Amino acid sequence: MYNLYAKIAGNPNYYRQLNCRDSLITMINCQYSTKYENFWSDSNYIVYIMDGRRVWHTSHGSYELQKGSCVFVRKGACIVEHFTDSTFCVVVFFVPDEFICEVLKSKSSPIYRSGASYDPVMAIDNNEAVHAFFHSMLSHFDANRTPDASLLELKFRELILTIADNPENSELLAYFCALLQEPQSVSLQRVMEDNYCFNLGLEEFARLSARSLSAFKRDFQRLFNTSPGKWLIEKRLDHALHLLTNMDKSVSDTAFESGFESPSHFSRAFRQRFGSSPLAIKQQVLV
């Protein structure tokens, strides 16, 4: 599992990109030969599908995106399902929490929207203003020179303000409000609950929760009253048991979708926890 933001930002010769500070927008146009791709990002990103379709699989469910779809994906991990028989063109705008908060605080009329939960993938109302923004960026990708950083910052701010000014984006507006108000303990809990089933290490979880590794371990112990390693293995095994017994998943697919490094590692941990192998548990359900 790789860091999508780091991969794109670190390869400007391969990925045509426009950036200002830590915000970055890129256009990807290609045909994939593999069906699944798993990655994580320590930055939120907005996806606008120019052509083709993809499915984003998260711990909360699956989201199919087609031409014209526009969504906000919260920082974290996912598995993306490709369709190898068609080309895919997408514009991706990486936008850190800090930039979102900075723009929202400059808004002349504050946003007020409450919400108890937020999906990892949230639909953005693709009205004419949003549609026009992404198509207006195409000319900058085709230009021979990179636009001035001040112009790019204005464009990036324009998109956040356009989204925040539309009441149709109710779920995303609730999330924006949470970014401005959310206590760190709630943020850490949300990061863990959203991403435990992906093969991320403690360093990645620390980055997602905007902490050093030592601060992450200390805050985690205080919040969950156990170590991150023990909590993760328990959550992943419970999730694996659900996939095997309720979703009719194979052992190898269950290992992959529960965040284990390999089927053998998964089988050892599963047997130690439940006293039987994953295959034996699966066969008991089928009887």
Strand order in the sheet with 76-81: 2-3, 36-41, 76-81, 53-58, 61-66
- Greatest CA separation found in the chain? 66
Instruction: List, in order, residues 6 or more apart from 256 with CB less than 8 Å away.
Output: none
Q: How far is C-alpha 43 from the chain's CA centre? A: 8
- For residue 237, the SS3 value is helix
Q: How many CB atoms lie within 10 A of CB 180?
A: 13
CATH architecture of the domain with range 2-181 = Sandwich (2.60)
Give the residue from 254, 246, 247, 257 showing the smallest Cα distance to 277. Answer: 254
Where in the chain are the domains? 2-181, 183-287
pTM above 0.85, yes or no: yes
Q: Which homologous superfamily is 183-287 in? A: Homeodomain-like (1.10.10.60)
- pLDDT digit of tens for each residue in the chain (287 aa)? 899 999 999 998 888 899 888 899 998 887 677 788 899 999 999 999 999 889 999 988 899 999 999 999 999 999 998 887 777 889 999 999 999 999 999 988 888 776 667 889 999 999 999 999 998 888 888 777 888 889 999 999 999 999 999 999 999 999 998 888 877 766 899 899 999 999 999 999 999 998 999 999 999 999 999 999 999 999 999 999 999 988 888 899 999 999 998 899 999 999 999 999 999 988 887 65
Q: Which residue type is seen at 107?
A: K
Q: Which residue type is seen at 265?
A: H
